[in-house]
């Protein structure tokens, strides 16, 4: 269960206070597939990072499976993220000097899994995403769509219960974007909770539920 209670967050931008989230309260039940839509600057990415334990709210609380995320110290919060949460970024954020296989191994390395098991699991995930013949390619040697698939394999490496995706199709052509959304539906059917920030209404419609953010408030959903 993901839960926000009276969460507020603001930034100072060139001396002006910008309200990113304004007294947001909401719940996402386990196994839900939620899309977050709204115009640029409406607070979507802030919302997602806050759910992932990456951005402390100015006020209010965020809960993951009943645990108040920001009452944990940073190390425990990182451990919870490693165990339960998978991130997908719009720009993929692959480590440029590592191969596809090694990029997928990172979460497994952080989880303390030994080398052989890391390689076997990472290779199996990349094969599942159709990249079995690209294991030793660096990101710069892969297409944009292939890079996003490596990022998806990396996100799944620790078998997270919650997937937080920030514009996962934003940089992709329509066909590749469609394939990624189909993959999201597939992992949703496995029982994972998915929260996806998107500008694309077509992509948002693939989710079971849509939350609309406007000027830091949830105005629909």
Site residues for another protein per CB under 8 A? 11, 20, 45-46, 49, 52, 54-55, 74-75, 78-79, 81-83, 87, 89-90, 93, 95-98, 102, 105-107, 109-111, 115, 118-119, 154, 158, 166
CB 177 to another protein: min, Å:
19
CB 85 to another protein: min, Å:
8
CB 46 to another protein: min, Å:
6
151 contacts: CB under 8 Å, gap ≥ 6: 88, 89, 92, 93, 94, 103
Q: 211 near 218, Cβ under 8 Å?
A: yes
Q: 81 near 52, Cβ under 8 Å?
A: yes
Nearer CB in complex with another protein: 60/178 = 60
Nearer CB in complex with another protein: 63/89 = 89
Q: 204 near 211, Cβ under 8 Å?
A: no
In this structure, what token pair is assigned to residue 42? 């409406």
Pairing state of beta strands 2-13 and 59-64? Answer: antiparallel
Pairing state of beta strands 209-214 and 217-220? Answer: antiparallel
CB 172 to another protein: min, Å:
17
Distance CA 44, CA 170 (A): 14
Nearer CB in complex with another protein: 95/219 = 95
Nearer CB in complex with another protein: 72/178 = 72
Nearer CB in complex with another protein: 41/178 = 41
The one-character DSSP state at 139 is: G
CB 175 to another protein: min, Å:
25
């Amino acid at each position: 269960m993901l839960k926000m209670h009276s969460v507020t967050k603001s930034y100072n931008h060139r001396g002006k206070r910008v309200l990113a989230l304004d007294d947001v309260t909401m719940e996402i039940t386990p196994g839900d597939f939620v899309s977050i839509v709204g115009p640029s600057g409406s607070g979507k990415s802030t919302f997602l990072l806050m759910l992932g334990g990456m951005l402390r709210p100015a006020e209010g609380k965020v809960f993951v499976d009943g645990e108040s995320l920001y009452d944990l110290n940073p190390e425990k919060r990182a451990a919870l993220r490693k165990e339960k949460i998978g991130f997908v970024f719009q720009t993929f954020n692959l480590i440029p000097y590592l191969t596809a296989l090694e990029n997928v191994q990172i979460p497994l390395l952080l989880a303390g899994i030994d080398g052989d098991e890391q390689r076997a699991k990472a290779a199996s995930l990349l094969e599942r995403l159709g990249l079995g013949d690209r294991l030793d390619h660096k990101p710069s040697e892969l297409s944009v769509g292939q890079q996003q698939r490596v990022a998806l394999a990396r996100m799944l490496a620790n078998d997270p219960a919650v997937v937080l995706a920030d514009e996962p199709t934003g940089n992709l052509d329509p066909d590749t974007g469609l394939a990624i959304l189909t993959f999201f539906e597939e992992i949703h059917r496995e029982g994972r909770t998915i929260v996806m920030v998107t500008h694309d209404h077509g992509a948002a419609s693939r989710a079971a539920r849509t939350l609309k953010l406007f000027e830091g408030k949830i105005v629909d959903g």
